[in-house]
């Protein structure tokens, strides 16, 4: 079987890595890929949002399954385009991808179908939004409506921070059209966790739980990023809590999608806030999380290709998914300056020393090859992912591996998974 994976980040490297271990997969292409992916798949110089070129490539190469990694091509309708041509593809169509593409749509959807979420109001006027913030006070959450690479959410601890966030989104247009509408939302206090599941529109199967670290600095300080690390499982989601998530979030979500005529086949990701054991939905994503995918797939025992193919074909009820008992921790190494403007072209050393490690995989995110050297080319550069008998052991393995890696200006958090270890 031939597989095409779309995207070029750490999530896509993890997907390619796991798919390459399937006995049913003969050849993997990745568009555009990165330096790490090029070691196990053929990288194709096509951008992830060039739907026409990707469609032509899939037809020409007789691709058996296309897997979409990032959210942008999903919201642009890549699945719709592939399905019109009779090509098998893993991911929701554009109508389903609106759950991530528009936070307003997602919040209104949750309200219609009774999913637990924070109180909110939507604004297109800066003055009205500012007036509402003054009325509600802080802490409060400000969200850009559209896609903002994980950086369009501001948890404002003071009135001034909230006003600054509104100005950045609505006046300065930091996220372009994604900020033409904003959500001003009640600030929930609790512990965040990621809950991903596969669904073919009829059956829904939860994946292993995980927890992300959004802030750039230790102790959850500094601005939000795309994610600075993750671990799996997430102890905050107990078996009882997971049952509640399925009952109050995932099953009602699936029923709502069917009622609205949305044929959703792919991953549904609920970003949750757990407050006194009760889950509330912060947001939905229509694809695998990054960096949550890295530790989750390290723990997956089942064949990922079989599960994805069955999802795309509407046969998910035939699939059983099993997991390793061990825990996994991913620590993201970023470039100097990230999440703002960052340096590129820094030579990365030490990666060869980790290639034969049984309990560590270094997933590449922002890397490329220059004069036979692997160099930095993005804000999040690497995701050092380790497995261990428990989270503490996995963390130790990850940080031991990081000690062997170097590039100028490299930055990483030292406290990934501490929250879980201290529980």
Residue 336 confidence class, pLDDT cut points 50, 70, 90: very high
Q: Are residues 283 and 380 in the same domain?
A: no
In-domain check, residue 101:
no
247 pLDDT above the threshold of 80: yes
Q: Are residues 47 and 134 in the same domain?
A: no
Q: Are residues 57 and 160 in the same domain?
A: no
Residue 224 confidence class, pLDDT cut points 50, 70, 90: confident
The total domain count for the chain is: 4
Please give the share of the chain, as a percent, with pLDDT higher than 70.
100
8 Å CB contact between 211 and 234: yes
> How much is the pLDDT for 80?
98
Supply the CATH number for residue 232's domain. Answer: 3.30.470.20
Quote the domain boundaries for residue 146.
125-180
Count CA atoms within 13 Å of residue 364 on its CB side. 25
Last residue of a domain, which of 318, 340, 371? 318
In-domain check, residue 385:
yes
In-domain check, residue 186:
no
Residue 202 confidence class, pLDDT cut points 50, 70, 90: very high
Angle between helix 159-166 and 126-136 (nearest 10): 160
8 Å CB contact between 272 and 193: yes
C-alpha distances in Å from residue 361, one per residue of 120, 129, 327, 394: 41, 45, 14, 12
- Regarding pTM above 0.85, the answer is yes
Say how far apart CA 156 and CA 340 lie, in whole Å.
19
Q: Are residues 77 and 53 in the same domain?
A: yes
User: What tens digit of pLDDT does each residue of 310-322 get?
Assistant: 999 999 999 999 9
Supply the CATH number for residue 140's domain. Answer: 3.30.1490.20
Pairing label, strands 42-43, 27-32: parallel
CB atoms within 10 A of CB 75: 22
> How much is the pLDDT for 152?
87
In-domain check, residue 255:
yes
Taking CB atoms within 8 Å and a gap of at least 24, the contacts of 53-60 are 54/4, 54/6, 54/78, 55/81, 55/82, 55/85, 55/87, 57/4, 57/29, 57/31, 58/4, 58/82, 58/87, 59/85, 59/87
Residue 223 confidence class, pLDDT cut points 50, 70, 90: confident
In-domain check, residue 233:
yes
Q: What share of the chain is helix, strand, coil (3-state, %, to 5)?
A: 35, 30, 35
CA angle 297, 188, 231 (to 5 degrees): 20
Q: Are residues 220 and 314 in the same domain?
A: yes
165 pLDDT above the threshold of 90: yes
User: What tens digit of pLDDT does each residue of 77-100 get?
Assistant: 999 999 999 999 999 999 999 999
Average pLDDT of span 1-16 = 98
In-domain check, residue 113:
no
Q: Are residues 152 and 69 in the same domain?
A: no
């Amino acid at each position: 079987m031939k597989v095409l994976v779309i995207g070029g980040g750490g999530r896509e490297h993890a997907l390619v890595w796991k798919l390459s271990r399937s006995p049913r997969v003969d050849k993997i292409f990745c568009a555009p890929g990165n330096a790490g992916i090029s070691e196990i798949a053929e990288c194709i110089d096509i951008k992830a949002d060039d739907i026409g070129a990707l469609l032509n490539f899939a037809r020409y190469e007789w691709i058996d399954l296309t897997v979409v990694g990032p959210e942008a091509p999903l919201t642009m309708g890549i699945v719709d385009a592939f399905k019109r041509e009779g090509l098998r593809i893993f991911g929701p169509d554009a109508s389903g991808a609106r759950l991530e593409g528009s936070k307003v749509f997602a919040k209104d959807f949750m309200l219609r179908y009774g999913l637990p979420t924070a109180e909110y109001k939507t604004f297109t006027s800066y003055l009205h939004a500012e007036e509402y913030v003054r009325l509600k006070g802080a802490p409060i959450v400000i969200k850009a409506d559209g896609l903002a690479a994980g950086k369009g959410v501001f948890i404002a601890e003071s009135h001034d921070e909230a006003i600054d966030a509104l100005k950045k989104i609505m006046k300065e247009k930091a996220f372009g059209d994604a900020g033409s509408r904003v959500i001003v939302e009640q600030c929930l206090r609790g512990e965040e966790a990621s809950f991903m599941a596969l669904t073919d529109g009829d059956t829904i199967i939860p994946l292993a739980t995980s927890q992300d670290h959004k802030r750039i600095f230790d102790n959850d300080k500094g601005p939000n990023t795309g994610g600075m690390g993750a671990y799996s499982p997430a102890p905050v989601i107990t078996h009882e809590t997971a049952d509640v998530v399925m009952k109050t979030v995932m099953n009602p979500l699936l029923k709502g999608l069917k009622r609205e005529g949305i044929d959703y086949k792919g991953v549904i990701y609920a970003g949750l806030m757990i407050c006194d054991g009760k889950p509330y939905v912060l947001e939905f994503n229509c694809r695998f999380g990054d960096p949550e995918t890295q530790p989750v797939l390290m723990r997956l025992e089942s064949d990922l290709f079989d599960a994805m193919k069955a999802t795309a074909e509407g046969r998910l009820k035939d699939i059983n998914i099993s997991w390793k008992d061990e825990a996994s921790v991913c620590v993201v190494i970023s470039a100097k300056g990230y999440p703002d403007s960052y340096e590129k072209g820094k030579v990365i050393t030490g990666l060869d020393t980790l290639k034969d490690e049984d309990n560590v995989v270094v997933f590449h995110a922002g890397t490329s090859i220059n004069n036979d050297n692997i160099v930095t080319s993005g804000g999040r550069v690497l995701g050092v992912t380790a497995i261990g008998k428990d989270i503490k052991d996995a963390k130790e393995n990850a940080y031991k591996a990081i000690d062997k890696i170097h590039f100028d200006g490299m930055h990483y958090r030292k406290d990934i998974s501490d929250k879980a270890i201290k529980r």
